[in-house]
Structure 1
Amino acid sequence: MARVEWGYQGRGKWNCLYKKITLIVCSINIVIALYVLRTLYASIYVHSNTDFNNAVKYTTDQIEKMEESIRIRRAKEPIQLVKIVKKLKLELSREDSVLELLPQPVKQRMADEILLRLHSLDAKTNVSEVREAVESWHRENLKEAKQLSIRKQGMNSTILKEQTRLLVKALESDWAALSEEIGLWIPAEIVHQEHDDKPEGDKEEEEEDILPGRPVPPECNAELHTDYAGDAVRWGLTHPKESAADCCQACLDQAKRVQPGQIKCNTWVYCPSETGCHSPDIHKHKNQECWLKYAEQPKINFKGKYPDSYRHSHPTAPLIVPWVSGVVRV
């Protein structure tokens, strides 16, 4: 019995000791947590006080001088000039949008009236007479619009006044832009004059053709009305150039950049005709096509005039070969 009783007493002592240790540890943790919170709060407070102390402080005299400077600057501002500039910007923006603000039915009516007047002209009317008919319509409608504007001034309808103002503005100072807007275009009159000043022996000779664009360099060896054969180095249907000189230059550049084993351009063929160039293949060849070709011994397909036998089998072929070609030495 004594041993059992001692065991109970010993266990009770250990339980009491464990509780005391737990209480002490919890107390220490609480003290540490409070200390950490206090340290953080103190650092934040010190930092905020430091920023406040470092802030710029102005004296009363300095503040009064700054306020006086602001008043002087405001007094010197060109208020009237700023208002005038704003007004001018507003007016310019309105002028730029005259054609946009003009109702589409009004533009359509103008186009219909002009077409009606042009249809009344004779089929043999020249460009000067067409231009005079359009200008006559323009003068009549401008006069009518100004008279309408004067009559509308006494009315209270702001919308009608604004539409009349836009109409006068469009017919008076924006007539060129309005003409383009409604699709009116009158070609310049071309006066053809023939001068028979050739010597008697040269009247049968044709005039020398002039290639468009910059002159072709001598190293291009350009031949008019000539179509050379050869293997295509660059497909002309997808290779347009502005001039025959540019086409020749493309051939020269390709020959300089060619890699070993690749074919090198030594022949160029260009279409200078605005209506396209004839060829016996199935493709439709357009103006500015530039073909880069290679041939060990360049041969001519056609030169000068197409043979009668060829034109007999190709009724759409023109009389003269339209292509221009050249063989370069690289």
Structure 2
Amino acid sequence: MARGGGEYNGGGGGALSYKRITLLVCLVNILIALFVLRFLYASSLHIYPNHDNNGVKYTADEIRRMEESVRIRRSKEPVELVRLVKKMKHDVAIAESSIELSPNVKGKLIDEILERLRRLEEKSNYTLLREAVETWRNEKLKEAKELIHEQNGVNSTMILEEAGMLVRALEFEWDVLSEEIGLWLPAEVNNEVHDDKPEGEEEPEEVLAGRPVPAVCNAELHTDYGGAAVRWGLTHHKESAADCCQACLDQAKRARPGETRCNIWVYCPSEFGCYSPDIYQHKHQECWLKYAEQPKENFKDRYSESYRNNHPKAPTIVPWVSGVITARA
């Protein structure tokens, strides 16, 4: 029994020692594994230094300088230039997408404007003419907008497109449309007559410069004919009276059926400008193209004494040169 007990205790001690060795080996393995993991982690930080916040720590002064640099860079950005470029791109896109008004529509606009101007033909007051055109423009714009708003009753896409284009032309591109249809409405200026001659001395006879005026032009010195303007002379200048007459002939030749054809030309040959009883300052080489079914003279040779009393700035002699085109077979 004593031997058996000794063997048992011995066996129990051996088992206990085996367990301890096993635990010790496991503990050593765990420590080795932890060491290896720590080594790998440290290595990764060494290989990838930007892993955490780019691997760089900035001082407060460095951060302040970077913020100041960003602020200065933003303040130097051409904000206004960028805005203008964007606006130009937008305007170009609109222009490229615009629909050209058809010749029929333009012809109708010209006829309507001329009809308004003919009502004022006897009144040589360009302020009234300009007001008449503006009134027509506002009425036409309102009519086109109403057509677009009432599109349910319109069965033509083309009509709606033309109405949209007409609204844009009348409201935003009026200057361009005016030039296309031959209508010029210049800004108002105070009429000032250049007069530096001694008091009481009459103006000398004017000599027409340039090439001779063809007989078909029927040039008349010191004459101002009335009529509805086919082209405004304020923005239409020619080198000579002969060139002005030729412009009238060319316009009449190119005019389409139904369009007003020039049959009167009025030219300012004086380098000091030409007087006219309106609000505009008429300059040298102005060339007016006009039309009248029965041409009438506004002024001929000299302004009357009674007229000059009512118009103190009027000179003695009519400065304009005019002519009525002789009809050709």
TM-score between both structures, scaled by the size of structure 2: 0.37
- Of structures 1 and 2, the one scoring higher in RCO (CA 8 A, sep 6+) is 2
TM-score between both structures, scaled by the size of structure 1: 0.37
